[in-house]
Structure 1
C-alpha cells in the first residue's frame, strides 16, 4: 500500500505541471503517453517472441507525424499506414500478421487520443480537469459503492470484482462532481453540454476500464507492464481517461465547441 501511495503521489506531481503551465511540458506529457503506450500496447502477444524494435519506432513516428498533418491529408495517410503495416509480414517472418493489427490499432487509437487531448487542452485547459474529475470521480465512487453495497456482478466474464451497485454509484458520483466543476469553472459550456458530457463520461469511462480489462484477459496478463510500482503500467492507470478524452472530444464536435 505504501508503494502504491508513493507512486500515486509521483504521478500527480508529474501530471500537474504540464496541465498548469502547458507548452513544452504538455507536449512532453503527450509524448510520454504515446511512447509508453507503444511499449505496452505493442508488447501484447500470445507468443514469447517480442516485436522487433523497428516496427515499434515506426508506429510511434506514424502517430507523431499524423499530428502535424492537415486534416485533409489524414485519411490518405491512415490508408498508407494500414497498407504499410499489412505489407511488412510479406518481407519477414519476424513480424506476424497479428503484429500488423497491433500496430494499426495502436496508431489509430493513440493518434485519436493525442488529437483529442490537444484539441481539448487548446480550447480550454480546464476542460482537461473536467474530464479527469468525471473519470476518477466515477472510478472512486464505483470502488467505494462496490465495496460497501456491491452484491450483483456487473460483468463477471471480464472483471469479477466489479458490481452493478458499484457502477451505479460511480455514475452518480462522477456526474455530480464533474457537473458541479463545470457549472462553476466552465461557464462557456451550456448546461446541456455539461450534463450530457458528465453523463457520457461516467458511462464511457467504465466501458473503457472494462475494454482494457478484456484486452488483458485475452492476452492472459494481469497488468500492461510494471512501470508504475503498485499500479501496473501506464495504460492500467489511464484506460478510462483515454476513452473519455475521445468521447468528450466527440461531445465537443456535436456542440461545435
Structure 2
C-alpha cells in the first residue's frame, strides 16, 4: 500500500505539472505514455518489439497520435492512412506465411486506434484555443471523481454485483456513486467558470465521463481476463501498467471529443 501511495503521489504531481504547462510538455508526456501503453498492448497479444507487425504498429500509432496540424500538415481524412496500415499488416500475414494470422493483424490495428487516437484526443482537448486547460481538468476531474465515488460508495453500501464475470469487486451501488460524484465535480467546474461551460453541458460531461470511464475500466478488465493476466505491465509500482491506469481516459476523451461535449 505504501508503495502504491508513493507512486501515486509522485506520478500525480508530475502529471498535473505537465498538464498545467501544456503545449509540447504535455504532448511529450502523452507520447511517452502512448509508446509504453502500445508496447503493453503488443506484449499482451504475443508480439515482440522487433516483430514486423510491431514495427508497423508503432509507426501507425505515431501517425495517429502526432498533431499534424501544428506541424503545418493536414489531412482531409485519416481513413486512407488507416487503410494503408491495415494493408501493410495484412501483407505481413503473407510474408510470414501465416505465422502471423489475420487475427494478429486485427489486434495490432485495434491497438493503434485504441491507444493512438485515445491519447491524441487528450492533446486535442488540452491544446484547444478555448479554455483548453479548464476543459482538460474538468474531464480528468470527472474521471477521477467517478473512480473515487465508485470506490467509497461500493465499500459503504455496495451489495449488488455490477459485472461479476468481468470484475467481481464492482457493484451497482458503487457505479451509481461514481456517476453522482462525477456529475457533481463537473457541475462545480461549470459554476467556477459559468461563461465557458453551461451547467447543462457540464452535467452531460460528468455523466459521459463516468459511464464511459467505467466501461473503459471494464473493457480492460475483460481483456486481461481473456489473456489471463492481472496487470498490463509493471512500470508503475503498485499500480500496474500504463493501460491499467489510463483505461478510463482512453474511453472518455474520444467520446467527449466526438460528441462535441467539450468545447474546442
Q: TM-score, normalised by structure 2?
A: 0.89
- Residue 105 of structure 1: aligned partner: 110
Superposition pairs for residues 143-154 of structure 1, below 5 Å? 143-154=151-162
- Residue 120 of structure 1: aligned partner: 125
Superposition deviation, residue 161 in structure 1: 0.5
Q: 1:255 to 1:22 in 2, by over 3 A?
A: closer
Deviations 1:114-156 (A, max 9, x none): 3311221122112111111110101101001101111110000
Contact 1:144/1:166 (<8 A) preserved: yes
Contact 1:205/1:240 (<8 A) preserved: yes
Counterpart among 193, 212, 228 of residue 185 in structure 1: 193
Q: Distance in 2 between matches of 1:236 and 1:186?
A: 34
- Residue 227 of structure 1: aligned partner: 235
CA-based RMSD: 1.9
- Residue 138 of structure 1: aligned partner: 146
Superposition deviation, residue 192 in structure 1: 2.4
Say whether 1:57 aligns with 2:50: no
Q: TM-score, normalised by structure 1?
A: 0.91
Superposition deviation, residue 187 in structure 1: 2.8
Q: Distance in 2 between matches of 1:136 and 1:120?
A: 17
Contact 1:38/1:106 (<8 A) preserved: yes
Q: 1:139 to 1:145 in 2, by over 3 A?
A: same
Superposition deviation, residue 250 in structure 1: 2.0
Say whether 1:86 aligns with 2:86: no
- Residue 10 of structure 2: aligned partner: 10
Superposition pairs for residues 68-87 of structure 1, below 5 Å? 68=68, 70-87=74-91
Superposition deviation, residue 214 in structure 1: 0.6
Superposition pairs for residues 38-49 of structure 1, below 5 Å? 38-45=38-45
Number of residues of Structure 1 aligned to a counterpart in Structure 2: 254
Q: Distance in 2 between matches of 1:255 and 1:64?
A: 24
- Residue 170 of structure 2: aligned partner: 162
Deviations 1:190-240 (A, max 9, x none): 332212111111111111110110110111110001111111111111111
Give the unaligned 5+ runs of structure 1.
none
Contact 2:234/2:241 (<8 A) preserved: yes
Contact 1:17/1:25 (<8 A) preserved: no
Give the unaligned 5+ runs of structure 2.
none
Contact 2:143/2:182 (<8 A) preserved: yes
Q: 1:21 to 1:101 in 2, by over 3 A?
A: same
